[in-house]
């Protein structure tokens, strides 16, 4: 009986939170291809901001990069200003957090 009551309570809470939009604060995911106009590494080397100029709209978008692989590429200049990048980022408030940041070029 206790178990049934608990499950019922959980289900009610889930329904209420869903109805009020509390639990579904998902970030919007955006894809773009753009050319890097600026890269700035944080002093501790654990993050960087890259400004990409969208090839379609021409708008400049600032992306925050935190994954180590890409940061390494910034540090040793394997990715530099002028490179064309395929990027996927999540908009969280006024921040665009990178989820994918790769050069488009092949060999």
DSSP annotation of 93: T
CB-wise, 24 or 76, nearer to other proteins? 76
Cα of 100 vs its chain's centroid, Å: 7
State which residue, 53 or 102, has the beta carbon closest to other proteins: 102
Judged by CB under 8 A, the residue of 27, 30, 47, 88 near other proteins is: 88
38 interacts with other proteins by CB under 8 A: no
Q: Is 93 an interacting residue with respect to other proteins (CB under 8 A)?
A: no
Angle at 101 between CA 69 and CA 57, to 5 degrees: 160
* 39: Cα separation from own chain's centroid: 16
Q: With binding defined as CB under 8 A, does residue 28 bind other proteins?
A: no
Provide the token pair at 50.
Answer: 């890259």
Tokens found for residue 40: 């700035």
Q: Does 68 bind other proteins (CB under 8 A)?
A: yes
Q: DSSP letters of 30-47?
A: EEEEEEEEEEEE-TTSS-
Nearer to other proteins, 3 or 77 (CB): 77
Judged by the rule CB under 8 A, the positions of this chain that interact with other proteins are: 31, 68-69, 72, 76-78, 80, 86, 88, 100, 102, 106-107
């Amino acid at each position: 009986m206790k178990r049934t009551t608990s499950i019922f309570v959980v289900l009610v809470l889930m329904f209420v939170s869903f109805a009020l939009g509390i639990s579904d604060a998902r970030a919007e995911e955006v894809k773009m291809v753009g050319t890097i106009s600026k890269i700035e590494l944080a002093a501790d080397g654990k993050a960087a901001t890259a400004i990409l100029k969208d090839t379609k709209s021409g708008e400049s978008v600032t992306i925050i990069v935190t994954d180590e692989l890409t940061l390494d590429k910034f540090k040793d200049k394997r990715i530099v200003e002028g490179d064309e990048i395929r990027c996927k980022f999540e908009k969280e408030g006024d921040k665009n957090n990178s989820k994918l940041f790769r050069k488009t070029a092949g060999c």
